[in-house]
Structures are given as C-alpha cells and as structure tokens.
C-alpha cells in the first residue's frame, strides 16, 4: 500500500512540474513574456537598423563634436549607431540636402583640423525640400533627429544620417529689396553698417551680372553716376533652384550675411548666400508700355 502511495506522489509531482508548459496553465503569460524580449539577431535585416526602434539621445552639436575630438573611441561606443536628437546652429550648406552644424572648436588646434569642429547632417530629409531647406541659413537654430554614423575620416567630424527635421528656429530678421539695401549704403554708409552689417538678411532683387560664380543684384547709383550693385557670394545657389543656370533678369530671393561695402566700395557684399526662390527672366513682367 505504501509503495502504491509513493508511486502516486511521484507521478503527481511530475505532473506539477510539467504543468507550466500546458496550454491551460496559468503561467503561460510569463512564458510568452520571455520570448517577447528583443532578440538582437532578429532586430536588423541586411545590417540596417530601424531608427524608430532606438531610444533617442538628446545632445547638442557642440557636445557631440567635442566628444569625438577629445575621446573618439569612447564617443563611438556611446553614440555610433544610436538615434540622436541633435540641436545646434547651422554653419553652412555645402551640398543639396546636406548641412553642417557648428560644433566645438579647440582653439589650440591647428587650422587644418578646424573642420572637425562641425557635425555633418546628410541624407534625404523626408520633408518636401522647399518646405524648410529653402528657408535655412547659417546661424539659424535647428533640431534634427538622425542616426550617428561616427567619424568616417579622422578630422572631419561626426556624421548624422537618415535625418528628420524636428524644429527650425526664426529666420532672418531683416527683409529688404536689393535696391533699397544698396541705396542705404550710398546715402549713409556709416548708418547702413550699423543697421545691416553682420546681420542675416532676406534680399529680393533682379540679377544684373554674374562674375566668378557670384551673382550681382540690382543696386543703387551714386551722385557720380557709379553703379553700386549687391554682390552675393554663393555657398548653395543650387539648393532650391536646381542645376539650371541663373541668368540676367532672374529675380532671386536669398538669405545671407551682409558684410557691408567691399574694400573698393564698389558693391554691397552679401556672403554665404542661399537662394530661397527664383523667378525666371522670361516670366518677370517688365514695366507697362502704356
């Protein structure tokens, strides 16, 4: 009798031990939860990482560039392949759909490494290009999200790819016609420098000349009959208008930094100019013949 009871107890114990695997068991949820944990071997396909699955790291462009300059190995371990929410100021727009954000500059570093003080944001932004790319300019604040690719070449700063625009700061505070800007310098150069020099401006004007890749917009005439145009130095004339060349008579709207009169005093200089829009010369209505 005692042996029979012992067999029953053993069989009952085995049944309890295997009950967790039964579909009717109350432990099923715990079992499934373990399988719901991310499996690193199945998170990526063909080496591509879905940015939406990565937690966001908030960091400034200055902080990111400094980390890669001071301790690149540690920075790569901490940020490479991670999704960043990157905030900073635009320094330049060297290519279509590519921007540089101002980073950390080591003043003790030789000039040849100055480019390391930038963060390059590159790739295809999902937003329609003219919706915001046409309105950016150096010093404008911006927040973007993207994947940190690390530092592909020593001294060239970290790269952030797969970008998405999150926030865009205020644009130029001054909007002015090129003729009015030039007239201000012709009338009172000292006052015009106080008002406009060093400011980011939005300028509208007709192209009157093109020399050495610079566009000259309609300006003003001095009392001596000398023409003072607005000379625009381009960094990204192709950003919005495409590859079709700019021609005389085209009316441009561009953003740039007013640098005042040139050394010779023969033009008002606008540097780091970015075209916002263009009206072709053949579509611009001239004065009525009536």
Q: Same structural domain for residues 233 and 189? A: yes
Task: State the pLDDT at residue 61.
Answer: 92
Cα–Cα distance measured from residue 48 to residue 35, given in angstroms and rounded to the nearest whole number: 23
Give the pLDDT of the chain (290 residues) as one tens digit per residue. Answer: 444 443 333 334 434 444 433 334 444 433 333 233 334 443 445 555 665 677 899 999 999 988 988 888 899 999 999 999 999 988 776 655 678 888 887 655 544 444 556 788 877 666 555 455 556 667 788 899 999 998 766 556 788 988 888 888 877 778 999 999 999 999 999 999 999 998 889 899 999 998 887 889 999 999 999 999 999 986 555 455 666 778 899 999 888 889 999 989 999 999 878 777 888 887 766 554 44
Does a structural domain hold residue 211?
yes
Task: State the pLDDT at residue 282.
Answer: 76
Cα–Cα distances in angstroms (integers) from residue 239 to residues 4, 183, 247, in the given order:
89, 29, 16
Task: State the pLDDT at residue 78.
Answer: 92
Q: Same structural domain for residues 251 and 233? A: yes
Q: Same structural domain for residues 75 and 140? A: yes
Does a structural domain hold residue 79?
yes
Cα–Cα distance measured from residue 1 to residue 12, given in angstroms and rounded to the nearest whole number: 17
Task: State the pLDDT at residue 284.
Answer: 64
Nearest to 147 by CA among 66, 73, 47: 47
- DSSP code of 248? T
Planar angle of CA 130, 136, 140, nearest 5 degrees: 155
At 10, list the tokens: 């053993």
Task: State the pLDDT at residue 120.
Answer: 82
Does a structural domain hold residue 123?
yes
Q: Same structural domain for residues 154 and 252? A: no
Nearest to 56 by CA among 170, 166, 169, 168: 166
Number of compact structural domains in the chain: 2
Does a structural domain hold residue 64?
yes
CATH number at residue 207: 2.40.50
Nearest to 253 by CA among 227, 279, 219: 279
- Give the domain-ending residue among 168, 184, 209: 168
Q: Same structural domain for residues 68 and 128? A: yes
Task: State the pLDDT at residue 24.
Answer: 40
Our CA dihedral for 22, 28, 33, 36, rounded to 10 degrees, sits at: 50
At 250, list the tokens: 């085209």
Does a structural domain hold residue 12?
no
Query: Which domain does 219 fall in, by range?
Result: 174-283
Does a structural domain hold residue 33?
no
Task: State the pLDDT at residue 51.
Answer: 56
Does a structural domain hold residue 290?
no
Does a structural domain hold residue 20?
no
CATH number at residue 67: 2.40.50.140
- Residue 157's SS3 state is coil
Task: State the pLDDT at residue 32.
Answer: 35
- Give the domain-ending residue among 127, 149, 168: 168
- Give the domain-ending residue among 151, 168, 185: 168
Residue 267 exposed, middle or buried by CB count within 10 Å (0-12, 13-18, 19+) = buried
Contact, 215 vs 234, CB < 8 A? yes
What is this structure's pTM?
A: 0.57
């Amino acid at each position: 009798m005692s042996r029979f009871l012992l067999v029953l107890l053993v069989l009952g114990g085995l049944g309890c031990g295997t009950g967790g695997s039964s579909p009717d068991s109350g432990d099923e949820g715990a079992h499934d939860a373990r399988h719901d944990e991310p499996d690193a071997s199945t998170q990526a396909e063909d080496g591509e990482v879905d940015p939406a699955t990565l937690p966001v790291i908030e960091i400034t462009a200055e902080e990111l560039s400094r980390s890669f300059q001071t301790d690149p190995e540690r920075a790569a371990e901490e940020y490479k392949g991670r999704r960043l929410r990157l905030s900073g100021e635009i320094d330049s727009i060297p290519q279509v759909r590519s921007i540089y954000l101002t980073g950390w500059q080591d003043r003790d570093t030789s000039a040849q490494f100055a480019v390391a003080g930038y963060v390059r944001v590159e790739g295809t932004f999902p937003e329609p290009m003219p919706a915001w790319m046409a309105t950016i300019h150096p010093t404008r604040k911006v927040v973007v999200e993207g994947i940190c690719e690390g530092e592909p070449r020593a001294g060239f700063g970290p790269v952030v790819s797969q970008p998405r625009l999150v926030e865009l700061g205020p644009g130029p505070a001054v909007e002015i016609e090129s003729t009015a800007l030039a007239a201000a310098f012709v009338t009172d150069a000292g006052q015009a420098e106080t008002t406009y020099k060093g400011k980011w401006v939005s300028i509208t004007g007709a192209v009157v000349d093109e020399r050495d890749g610079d566009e000259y917009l309609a300006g003003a005439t001095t009392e001596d009959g000398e023409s003072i145009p607005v000379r625009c130095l381009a960094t990204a004339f192709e950003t919005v208008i495409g590859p079709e060349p700019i021609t005389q008579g085209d009316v441009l709207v561009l953003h740039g930094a007013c640098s005042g009169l040139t050394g010779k005093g023969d033009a008002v200089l606008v540097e780091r100019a970015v075209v916002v829009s263009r009206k072709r010369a053949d579509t611009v209505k001239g004065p009525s013949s009536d």
